[in-house]
Amino acid sequence: MATLDISPAAAGEAQRLRERFGFLREVVDEMERSVPYASALVRFSHGQSIDLRDGEQSASRQDPQSGVVLTASNGHALEESASDAIDAESVLRTARELVDRVRHHHEDGPEPELAIQADGPGDADFATAVGIDPGTVPLTERIARYEALRQRLRAIEDRAVQAMAIHREGSQISIFANRSGMTTQQIRRVVLILQLFVSDGQQRQFDVVIKAGTGGLELLDVTDAELAECAATAASLLTAGAVPPGTHDIIADPLTTGTIAHEAFGHGVETDMFVKERARAADYVGQRVGSELVNILDDPTVPTAYGSYFVDDEGQLASGTSIIRDGVFQRGITDLYSATRLGIPRSANGRRESVQRKAYARMSNTFFAAGHSTLDELVAGLDDGLLVCRALNGMEDPKGWGIQISSNFAREIKHGRLTGTVYSPIALTGYVPDLLADVSGISDTIEWSSGSCGKGWKEIVPVGSGGPYLRTRCRLG
């Protein structure tokens, strides 16, 4: 068994998890006497959140979401049972009921054979490396720290009507077992969101500073310069005009770049979409889909990135996937079912919102690789364009290869310089291959952002996205 470079405290916790949930292997063994493939995943969480704002404060314990999901294949499809009862006796009872259900409903339908390979990392323990463990900093001290930051942000701008500080920290513990072995992983995530609302008496506008990642409180440091920029940006939006609708040369900031990667060649290459014939990318494996400057990756092993993990929820050991290399589409990201159905190698992207939900092919940390330009060089290269900033959300269209991204604002560029004119809000739309083909410059450093990703409008999982500044062309409205 491997206990990979984890702290003594995490190793001790891993040992306790093994002792408590070692029975999962026996449950899987028993199930596999009746079905061709079985696995078990136990997951639970703990942590705290605080929400501080003008006039009110709140504190919460994280929902433990504890439970087990048992998976069984009947050779053609999967059946699963999920329960919040995770003691050995209850799990065994749930397993036996599931096997009975599978046998009862095993009938010939349109489903082709599903020959699952029981890959997995064997026996191993993993844990996020944590610098400052939130558990070692009393809640009273964290409240004082983030309330002080909130007050500093609010004090910068006279027109502030509300300032919020939201802090979350938590650990997600999971234990996966199949016939290849049992893994444990302890993932620690931290978040700090500072949001300032300003008003001129008529309008309300806002800007936000978000710090998040896998690790400890060391990831949540905020500088005075970041607070000042947040306040100045929010205030500037009170006089922002509507962007002239039409096609523009743009430079996407790292948050917008990351959202482009996520929506365009993240969701669009989730291979469950291939099985459902929903992804146009399925017809473009090995073909050019963007300028040769474009490299997009999905990698759950990026240190401190918000979407990082060690093993996916179906027991696949995490590793990076090159999705687009030098403008050529390489491969998609998989869950167990779609990889098996398509007969392609798995990537570690089978993820669940909770044990109450099915695993799908999902992103981890999806990003454009850095290029060789500086931001100043990218700006200098535009005669008439816009620097699009602070993506708020986006939506995929894997079949039509459309893209929708909402960004909070854009800064005008004329003759290679920022003019100070700001437009808000920004709706960025386009045809993905055109947008990627028009990429004409990429900056040399990557910034990460954190987010919650849905599959369509549900199945929320934590993800990271990121990238450099990216110069391209798209439609704004």
Partner 1 sequence: MDQRVVDAVRRHPGIHDWTIRFQHGRGAQVYLAGTALENVRQVGRDAYEVELFNDHQVDGERMRGSAVVPLGREDLDRLPAILDEGVAMASLVHNPPWTLPERTEYPEVGLADRRLVDVADAVREARQTAEQIRELVAAAGAGVRLSAAELFLTAVDEELLNSRGLQASATSTRVLSELNLLADGEQEAEFFRQDEARRLEDLRLPDMVRDAAQHARDATRARQPRTRLGPVVLSDIAADQFLAPSVLGANSTYLSQTSGGAAYARLSRFEIGEPVFLGRAHTGDPFTLRSNARRPYSVLSYRFDPDGLPAQDVLLIDDGVLRARTASQRYAQYLDLPATGQPGMAEIAPGPTSMADLLRGEPSVYQVVAFSAPNADPVTGNFGMEIRLGYEIGPDGTRPIKGGSVSGNLFEAMADARFSAETAVFAWFAGPRAIRFELMQVAGEDA
- Segment 281 to 320, residues that bind partner 1, using CB under 8 A: none
CA atoms lying within 13 Å on the CB side of residue 134: 28
65 touches partner 1 (CB under 8 A): yes
According to CB under 8 A, which residues from 162 to 201 bind partner 1?
A: 162, 197, 199
Candidate residues 62, 180, 301, 440; the one interacting with partner 1 per rule CB under 8 A: 62
Candidate residues 239, 319, 419, 452; the one interacting with partner 1 per rule CB under 8 A: 452
Candidate residues 169, 312, 353, 397; the one interacting with partner 1 per rule CB under 8 A: 397
Interface with partner 1: number of residues (CB under 8 A):
89
64 touches partner 1 (CB under 8 A): yes
Query: Which range touches partner 1 (CB under 8 A), out of 181-189, 326-334, 366-374, 450-458?
Result: 450-458
Candidate residues 135, 320, 402, 416; the one interacting with partner 1 per rule CB under 8 A: 402
**Do the Cβ atoms of 368 and 233 come closer than 8 Å?**
no
272, containing H or E segment: helix 271-275
Close Cβ partners of 91 (under 8 Å, ≥ 6 residues apart): 23, 24, 27, 40, 68, 70, 83, 85
78 touches partner 1 (CB under 8 A): yes
Residue 369 one-letter amino acid: A
According to CB under 8 A, which residues from 334 to 363 bind partner 1?
A: 337-338, 341, 356-358
100 touches partner 1 (CB under 8 A): no
433 touches partner 1 (CB under 8 A): no
Closer Cβ to partner 1, 60 or 319, answer by number: 60
CB of 15 to partner 1, least distance (A): 19
According to CB under 8 A, which residues from 101 to 120 bind partner 1?
A: 101, 105, 109-112
456 touches partner 1 (CB under 8 A): yes
Closer Cβ to partner 1, 332 or 394, answer by number: 394
**Do the Cβ atoms of 149 and 142 come closer than 8 Å?**
no
Helix/strand number for the chain, H first, E second: 10, 24
81 touches partner 1 (CB under 8 A): yes
Give the end-to-end CA distance of the chain in Å, rounded to a whole number: 55
CB of 267 to partner 1, least distance (A): 11
CA 227 – CA 239 distance, rounded (Å): 20
Query: Which range touches partner 1 (CB under 8 A), out of 26-34, 294-302, 370-378, 452-460?
Result: 452-460
Query: Tokens 């798995």 identify what position?
Result: 346
DSSP string, 7-71: -HHHHHHHHHHHHHHTHHHHHHHHHTTTSSEEEEEEEEEEEEEEEEETTEEEEEEPP---EEEEE
58 touches partner 1 (CB under 8 A): yes
Query: Which range touches partner 1 (CB under 8 A), out of 75-83, 148-156, 313-321, 362-370?
Result: 75-83
CB of 101 to partner 1, least distance (A): 7
372 touches partner 1 (CB under 8 A): no
DSSP string, 141-184: HHHHHHHHHHHHHHHH-TTEEEEEEEEEEEEEEEEEEETTEEEE
CA 41 – CA 183 distance, rounded (Å): 10
Residue 425, preceding peptide bond in cis (omega within 30° of 0): yes
**CA-based nearest residue to 297, from 224, 347, 356:** 347
CB of 40 to partner 1, least distance (A): 14
